[in-house]
Amino acid sequence: MTEWVLHSGARPGGVARAQIRAVGLALRGPAMVAGGVLVLATALAVADMRGSTGFNFHPERWMVPGLSGLLLPMAVWRGEERFGPGFLWTLPVDRRGHALAKVGAGWVWLMAAVALFVLWLLAVALASGGNVLGPETLRMIPPLPYPGDGGLNPAAITPTAWTPNPVLWLVPFTAATAMYLLSSALALATPHPFRWLAGVLLTFFLIAMVSDAADADGVAQIPEYLVSLLVGGRYGLESVLIASTETLKVETRLTTGEMAVVWRGLPDPAQWARSTLLWTALAAAALWAAASRHRETRRA
C-alpha cells in the first residue's frame, strides 16, 4: 500500500543561504560597475597623491555607502514580482519571513561592499601617507555668528588638535544599513516606489510654487523647513549619513580673499549614535510594516 507522507517545509538556514546566493548573482552586474568605478577612483587617487600631503582616513565623511544602501534594493528585487504571484511567493516559506530573508541577504552583501570600500579608503590613506588614527589639527571657528559677505576674519580661526574617534568608522556601515532598510521598506510597501517619490517631490514643488505665487511666505517655507529638518536637522539624515561632517566643515572666504576650510564644531559620536538609532529603528519598523503587506494571512 502506498504510504503518503507530507513534506516538511524549508529549513531557515537553507533559505538564508539560498537568498544570499541568489541576491549575490543578481548583484553581479552592479558589482562589476562598482568595481570599475573603484579602479578608476584608485587611479585618480594615485594621480592626486603626487605632491599632496596625504589622504586622511575618514570613512565617516563619504556619502557613497549611504547612497549605495539607498539604491541597492532596486538590484536586490530586480525581476521579482513583488506584488503578484511571483516566483518568490511560490516557495514553501512564510511570505513575510521570506521577504525579510531577501532583504537580509541584500544587507549581507551591502555590508561586504561597504567593508571593501572602507578597506579601500584605508589602503589609499596608508599608501599616500595620510593620517589614520593620529591627531589632526582642525581650524575651528565659533558656530555663530556666520561670516558675512566680507568674509571671515582669520583671527577668528582657532587651530584645535583632534584625534579621530574609531567609533566613527562605523558610520558607513550604519548609514548604508539605515538607508537600505528605508529603501527596502519602500520597495516592499508599494509596487511603484518611484511614482510615490515623484509624487512627494511634485507635491513639495507645487506647494512651494503656489505659495510663492500667492505671496504666502509661511506656507512656502513649510517644504523648505521640512527638508532642512529632515536633512540637516539635529536628527537629520546628514547626521546619519556622514555624522554631520558636511554641516560642520565649511569652505569659506577669508577677509584676506583666500578660501579656507574651517570647522564650526567637532563630529559628535553621541549625536551620530542617537540619530542613527532613531533612523534605523524607524526604517526597521517601516520595513516590518511593508513586509507585512505580503504576509500569508490577513485579518478579515
Partner 1 sequence: MSPLHPEPGAPAVATRGLHKRYGRETALAGVDFLVPEGAVYVLVGANGAGKSTTFKVLMNLERPDAGTAEVFGVDAGRGGPRARAQIGYVPEHHGPGYRWMTCGQLLRHAAAYYPSWDAAYAEHLGRALGLKPHRRAGTLSKGENRRLQLVMAMAHRPPLLLLDEPTDGLDPVIRRRTLALLADHLADTPTTVVVSTHHVTEMETLADHVGVLREGRLVAQMPRDELQRTVRRYRAGVPDGWTAPPGLPQARRSRAGRELQWTLVGEPAELTARLTAAGAEVREVTTLGLEDAALAFLAEEDTV
CB of 217 to partner 1, least distance (A): 46
If one asks whether residue 298 binds partner 1 (CB under 8 A), the answer comes out as yes
If one asks whether residue 299 binds partner 1 (CB under 8 A), the answer comes out as no
Nearer of residues 4 and 159 to partner 1, judged by Cβ: 4
Q: Which stretch binds partner 1 (CB under 8 A): 4-12, 64-72, 212-220, 247-255?
A: 4-12
Q: How many CA atoms lie within 13 A of 71 on its CB side?
A: 10
User: CA 222, 228, 229: angle at the middle one, nearest 5?
Assistant: 85
Q: How far apart are CA 59 and CA 54, in angstroms?
A: 15
Among 89, 120, 204, 288, binds partner 1 (CB under 8 A): 89
Q: Which stretch binds partner 1 (CB under 8 A): 62-70, 79-87, 122-130, 135-143?
A: 79-87
Q: Which three cell numbers stand for residue 87?
A: 516566483
Q: Does residue 28 come out as left (phi exceeding 0), alpha (psi in the -120 to 50 range) or beta?
A: alpha
Q: Which stretch binds partner 1 (CB under 8 A): 22-30, 48-56, 63-71, 240-248?
A: 22-30
If one asks whether residue 257 binds partner 1 (CB under 8 A), the answer comes out as no
3-class secondary-structure state, position 148: coil
If one asks whether residue 87 binds partner 1 (CB under 8 A), the answer comes out as yes
Q: Would you say 235 and 275 are in contact if contact means Cβ atoms under 8 Å apart?
A: yes
If one asks whether residue 118 binds partner 1 (CB under 8 A), the answer comes out as no
CB of 75 to partner 1, least distance (A): 10
CB of 91 to partner 1, least distance (A): 5
Residue 5 to residues 2, 8, 91, 94, 228, Cα–Cα distance (Å): 9, 9, 19, 21, 61
What is the sign of the dihedral through the CA atoms of 274, 177, 62 and 64? Answer: negative
Nearer of residues 26 and 262 to partner 1, judged by Cβ: 26
If one asks whether residue 36 binds partner 1 (CB under 8 A), the answer comes out as no
Separation of CA 96 from chain center = 24
Among 48, 136, 212, 296, binds partner 1 (CB under 8 A): 296
Q: Which stretch binds partner 1 (CB under 8 A): 93-101, 109-117, 135-143, 248-256?
A: 93-101
If one asks whether residue 2 binds partner 1 (CB under 8 A), the answer comes out as yes
HEC string of 160-202 equals EEECCCHHHHHHHHHHHHHHHHHHHHHHHHCCCHHHHHHHHHH
Strand order in the sheet with 249-253: 158-162, 136-140, 259-263, 249-253
CB of 187 to partner 1, least distance (A): 16
Nearer of residues 28 and 234 to partner 1, judged by Cβ: 28
* Helix orientation angle between 64-76 and 95-128, rounded to the nearest 10 degrees: 140
If one asks whether residue 94 binds partner 1 (CB under 8 A), the answer comes out as yes
Nearer of residues 77 and 169 to partner 1, judged by Cβ: 77
If one asks whether residue 51 binds partner 1 (CB under 8 A), the answer comes out as no
Nearer of residues 5 and 259 to partner 1, judged by Cβ: 5
3-class secondary-structure state, position 141: coil
Q: Would you say 56 and 249 are in contact if contact means Cβ atoms under 8 Å apart?
A: no
- Where do contacts with partner 1 occur on this chain (CB under 8 A)? 2-11, 14-15, 17-18, 21-22, 25-26, 28-29, 78-80, 85, 87, 89-95, 296-298
